[in-house]
Amino acid sequence: MIPTNSDDLHALAGEYILGVLDPRDAGEIEAALATNAELRRAMGFWEEKLHPLSALAPPAEPPRETWDRIVARLDGAARRPTPSLWSRPAPWRWATVGLAVAAAGLLVYIAATPPAPPRSFVAILHAAQQEQPSWLATAGPDGLLVRAVGAAAPPGGKAFELWAIAPGAAAPQSLGVIPGDGVFRLGHLPAAIRDGATLAISIEPPDGSPTKQPTGPVVFVGALRTM
């Protein structure tokens, strides 16, 4: 529960920025960011104000090959799975990426949809660096439906595979390969589908990842929110 009292809220935001919170509390904060402007402001305050403390860590020369490894990653040369891809990417920092867009999309979506049944979730999946939604995911007691919003097709001979990462989970869970028509249905609701979970789509062989973990690049990502 995110406190409404100003002192409590700022102390909690400060603890998050310090990094002392356990994963459960940190996850709760991340889930609240999209809707809590006061919390975002408090996080910004602490990040900015505490920043000079980082000068206490003496600078050091990184290994020389580090830049080449970064370039190789950006060039897509390193296509092997990197577990770190799935680490939480400092979520509070880009919780607001495309937030206005996502919120606008969500409003349109909600307006066009009959009243939601209990425990319903929605997620809008974006490509990195793109604000246009690429996939829309809706989940409820009847199961999960993920469908392409824009024109999205995997590269030749490949397929899109859908993954769920529960809040605090160490590894993604495969939900299956997305059919070629861009509509994915699941008749039940996996436990990983809950508020604050992340949905992601990676490029995999036609039958899906052979390793039960993503082997190709992650091309779309979005967070699930309770409707």
156 belongs to the binding site for other proteins (CB under 8 A)? no
Nearer to other proteins, 11 or 149 (CB): 11
Chain-centroid distance, C-alpha 6: 28
Tell me if 184 sits within 8 A of 211, measured CB to CB: no
51 is a contact residue toward other proteins (CB under 8 A): yes
By CB under 8 A, residue 158 contacts other proteins = no
Query: Could you give the CA distance from residue 159 to residue 152 in angstroms, rounded to a whole number?
Result: 11
**Helix (H/G/I), strand (E/B), else coil: 6:** helix
What are the CA-CA distances from residue 139 to residues 79, 100, 142, 161 (Å)? Answer: 31, 22, 7, 17
What is the DSSP secondary-structure string of 102-143?
HHHHHHHHHHTSPPPPSS-EEEEEEETT--SEEEEEEEETTE
Binding mask 165-194 for other proteins (x = CB under 8 A): -----x------------------------
Name the residue nearer to other proteins (CB basis): 56 or 112: 56
Binding of residue 210 to other proteins (CB under 8 A): no
Indicate whether 50 belongs to the interface with other proteins (CB under 8 A): yes
Residue numbers at the binding site for other proteins (CB under 8 A): 7, 10-11, 14-15, 17-20, 22-23, 44-63, 66-67, 69-70, 73-74, 76, 84, 87-90, 93-94, 96-97, 127-130, 170, 203, 217, 219
